[in-house]
Each structure stands twice: as C-alpha cells, then as structure tokens.
C-alpha cells in the first residue's frame, strides 16, 4: 500500500487491518483517535494541577546536569573514581522544623537554597560557630559539567578552593560525588508567574489533603514565599536546573467534622471531635503512660474507616479485614497559644464503638436508642458495629466521648487536653 497522505480520502475503507487481520473502518479509527486525544488532554490537565503543589521537607529533587554514574577525576597524577552513594536520600530537600506546616509537613521556601559543601559552611556560619549543619540539598551525585578525568588541582584553582583539597578528596571517597563538592546555587528559587485563569477563587484543602496554588500569588509559610513543582533553582557551577520531581506531600486526609448532632435516649446530644479528639485507654493490660516508641510513634486505636474509608457498614471489625495497618499523622493546635504539634501514631486496635445508629431490637422505643449524624467508623459514638462479635454491650453510653484517637496507656506524656484537632492523615506504607 502506498503512503497515506493527510487530507486525502481513502477509496478502499476496508484496506486497513488491525493486528489480528480484522478490517477497521474509517469511523472506528476516528473514534479511537478521539478517545486517545481526550485521555491525553486529561493527563495534561492532571500534570498541570500537580505542578501547583507546594514542596515540603523530604521532597525528591533532580538536577538537569547530574548523574548517578561513576566519574573519573585526576588527583596528583593518579586517577580517582567518584562513585556516588545514597544519592536518593541526598537529593531530597531538607527543611528544619518550623512553626507553620502543611498537614504536619514543613513547607520549603524560596530562600531554602543552600547546597553541598558550600551550603553546609554557610549554614554553619549562620548557626553555631565551627559547627557543620546539613544544607537544604546535599548532592545529586556527579556533575556532568566536569569532563571525565578532569584534573582536580586545575578545578580547585578555578573555583578558589585549593584550601579545601583534602576535604574534597575525603568527600569523594565517602561517596558524596562531585556535585556535593562544587555545587554553587543561586540565593533563591525562581517561581513561575501564575496567570489568574490558572487558579481557583477560594482556598480550601482538598479531601486528599494536598495543598497547592489556588490564587494569583504564592502562599507564604513562616514568612517565606513557598515553592512548587514548577519552581526552579539554578546551579552557577554546573549550569544545571534543579526541580522537584514530587512535592513530598503525603497522606490521605481523614475528614473529621467539628461538631456532630445526635440524640441519645430521646435527648439531644452534641459531639465535639475537634475538642475531644483524644482519650487514654481504660484497658487494664495497657501501660500507665502512653509514650512514643523508638521511632517516635504513639500506639493508638482508631475507627475502622480511618484505616479503610470504604470499610462496609456490615463489617465484623476483624483484624484480617484490614491487612497491615498504616501509620497516621495527627496535627494538633494548642487552644491558647496556637502552637502546632504533630504526632505520628501506629495502630494496634480498632474502635468498634463508632457506628451511628442503635435501636433496641426488643423495646424499640426512643428511650433505648441512639443516633448521630455522622458517617460510621470515624468517631467514638458508643454504638457498636452491629455485626461485631464478642462485645459486652452494643450500646455503651459511657463510651460516648467524641474521640478519634485512643492512646494505649492510662495517661499520655503530654497535656493532650490543651490541644484541639487540626487534621488526621493516613500515611500509606
């Protein structure tokens, strides 16, 4: 068959075949192309939305002039091999803890641009004298700007770094790569101009818990303008462009209402989960004090839908229903000072008394019933999931405490009642 030319109609519409030899009509081709085109447009839209996400501590960065591969460097007439190690961890942006966060994660700002050996020294000068601190960026591996087999002395002289020769040789031997040794970054990240047509009029946290650009100026966190996946940082040494490949924002946000209206035995009852978010355990087998483990995590119980938002209403609350429990991040705000506190928790049990309706099957009157206007499985209502077995009572009025988190200890090692709930995020692991 001759080459098909755009714009010319095919006379033989059955001459095209699919991979099984079946004839394909022109309309079928157009329909398939249209479907692929729409999928492509949707993908572009998703990528455009993702670029608006703000970068937080731990976001993975990449440099256009970096390689993880080995590179040779000439040291005093001998050949030395620079073999980068731990590159992925070293390529993450590091932001020290600050007061304001995004869902418990510290946002990066335009001035978080200290990199490599020079960045460590500059950060040390700003802090404790003579103390080296981790820069915002450690290393991307080896710099491709340097020719393979470059003479170290020649390079050091050009960069006025002869006094750092031994330190640089040591860093290369430790696997930090030439990027760490010579990285020289601009003072600030560059943010793209945001057309007003690309933003939303309101700022509201989406259900996924991801914060992103929503209006025609960048948000400030801790007094510093934030940076996003579209932001760039220029390296003056290797001419590389640095960007984040992922924002670093993690976790599924669990929706917890501020207040819940209901009735218990015919009387109005209001639950306040933000205010009464946490309670200690009443189980005798639990320790006297709930304290973080070696990983800094508290052991807790939560409702079934905190773990699985699709857990069925007729579930039996069996451990096998859930598989491996995730880690959760709880963001708190001090009721008086406004100070933020973030705790991470591991789950060891399920709060089965988190159903929304109970009707006594025998008496059937409102004096023996309870109801709360809330989804099942999130908040302690005192009402047991109806198909759960082994519980002492299906409706425990003493257990109506509005809690979302139950610590596995008779007391907690901080004044939890002084804080209100800001957010709960499930970290999928």
CB atoms within 10 A of CB 306: 27
pLDDT digits (tens, 9 = 90+) for 78-120: 999 999 999 999 999 999 888 888 878 899 999 999 999 999 9
* CA separation for the pair 178, 238 (Å, rounded): 10
Lowest mean pLDDT segment, chosen from 44-58, 256-270, 415-429: 44-58
What is the pLDDT, as a whole number, of residue 151? 95
Q: For 238, what's the count of Cα atoms within 13 Å in the CB-facing half-sphere?
A: 26
User: Rg for the chain (alpha carbons), in Å?
Assistant: 29
- The pLDDT, as a whole number, for residue 210 is 63
Residue 362 pLDDT: 57
The answer to which of 174-188, 350-364, 399-413 has the lowest mean pLDDT is 350-364
- What's the mean pLDDT in 185-214? 61
pLDDT category of residue 393 using cuts at 50, 70 and 90: confident
pLDDT at 10: 38
Among 96-110, 389-403, 406-420, the least confident range: 389-403
* CA distance linking residue 428 with residue 106, whole number of Å: 19
Q: What is the mean pLDDT of the segment spanning 216-235?
A: 88
| Backbone φ and ψ of 116, nearest 5° | 65, -160
Mean pLDDT of 231-248: 94
Token pair of 152 as six digits? 């170290």
CA atoms of 82 and 173, how far apart (whole Å) = 7
Q: Report the pLDDT value the prediction gives residue 205, as an integer from 0 to 100.
A: 44
Hey, CA dihedral for 291, 295, 299, 305, is it positive or negative? positive
The 8-class DSSP code of residue 208 comes to T
DSSP for 250-281, written as a single string: --EEEP--S-EEEEETTEEEEE-TTTT-EEE-
Q: What is the mean pLDDT of residues 170-182?
A: 97
- Residue 158 pLDDT greater than 60, yes or no: yes
| Beta carbons of 298 and 347 less than 8 angstroms apart | no
Range with top average pLDDT, 23-37, 181-195, 204-218, 222-236: 222-236
Within its chain, how far is the Cα of 26 from the centroid? 46
- Binning pLDDT at 50, 70 and 90, where does residue 198 land? very low
Residue 200 pLDDT > 70, yes or no?
no
Task: Report the 10 Å Cβ neighbour count for 383.
Answer: 27
Measured CA to CA, the distance from residue 109 to residue 56 in angstroms comes to: 9
Q: Which is nearest to 376 in space by CA: 353, 354, 345, 359?
A: 354
Mean per-residue pLDDT over the chain, rounded? 84
pLDDT at 252: 85
Per-residue model confidence as pLDDT tens digits over 26-59: 565 556 666 665 555 454 444 455 678 899 999 9
Q: Determine the Cα angle at 180 with ends 176 and 184, to 5°.
A: 175
| Beta pairing class for 71-75 and 278-280 | unpaired
């Amino acid at each position: 068959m001759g080459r098909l030319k755009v714009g010319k109609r095919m006379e033989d519409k059955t001459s095209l075949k699919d991979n099984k030899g079946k004839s394909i009509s022109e309309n079928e081709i157009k329909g398939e192309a249209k479907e692929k085109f729409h999928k492509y447009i949707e993908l572009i839209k998703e990528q455009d939305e993702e670029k608006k996400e703000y970068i937080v501590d731990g976001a993975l960065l990449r440099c256009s002039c970096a390689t993880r591969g080995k590179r040779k460097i000439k040291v005093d007439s001998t050949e030395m091999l620079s073999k980068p190690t731990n590159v992925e961890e070293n390529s993450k942006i590091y932001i020290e803890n600050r007061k304001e966060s995004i869902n418990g994660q510290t946002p990066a700002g335009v001035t978080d641009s200290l990199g490599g050996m020079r960045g460590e020294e500059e950060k040390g000068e700003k802090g404790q004298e003579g103390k080296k601190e981790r820069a915002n960026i450690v290393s991307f591996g080896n710099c491709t700007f340097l020719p393979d087999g470059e003479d170290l002395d020649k390079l050091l002289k050009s960069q006025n770094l002869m006094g750092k020769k031994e330190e640089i040789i040591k860093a290369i031997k430790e696997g930090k790569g030439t990027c760490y040794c010579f990285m020289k970054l601009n003072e600030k990240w560059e943010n793209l101009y945001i057309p007003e047509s690309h933003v939303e009029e309101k700022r509201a946290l989406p259900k996924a818990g991801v914060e992103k650009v929503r209006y025609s100026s960048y948000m400030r966190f801790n007094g510093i303008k934030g940076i996003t996946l579209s932001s760039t940082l220029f390296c003056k040494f290797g001419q590389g462009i640095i960007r984040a490949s992922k924002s670093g924002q993690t976790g599924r946000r669990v929706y917890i209402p501020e207040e819940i209206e209901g009735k218990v035995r015919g009387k109005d009852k209001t639950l306040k989960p933000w205010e009464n978010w946490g309670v200690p355990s009443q189980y005798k087998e639990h320790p006297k004090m709930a304290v973080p483990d070696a990983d800094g995590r508290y052991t807790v119980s939560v409702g079934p839908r905190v773990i699985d938002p699709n857990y069925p209403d007729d579930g039996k609350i069996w451990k096998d229903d859930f598989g491996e429990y995730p880690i959760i991040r709880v963001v708190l705000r001090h009721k008086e000072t406004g100070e933020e506190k973030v705790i991470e928790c591991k789950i060891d049990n399920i709060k089965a008394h988190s159903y929304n309706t109970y009707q006594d099957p025998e008496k059937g009157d409102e004096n023996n019933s309870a109801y709360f206007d809330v989804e099942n499985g999130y908040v302690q209502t005192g009402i047991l999931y109806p198909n759960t077995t082994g519980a002492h009572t299906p409706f425990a009025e003493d257990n109506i405490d509005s809690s979302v988190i139950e610590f596995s200890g008779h007391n907690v090692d901080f004044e939890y009642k002084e804080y209100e709930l800001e957010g709960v995020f499930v970290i999928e692991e």
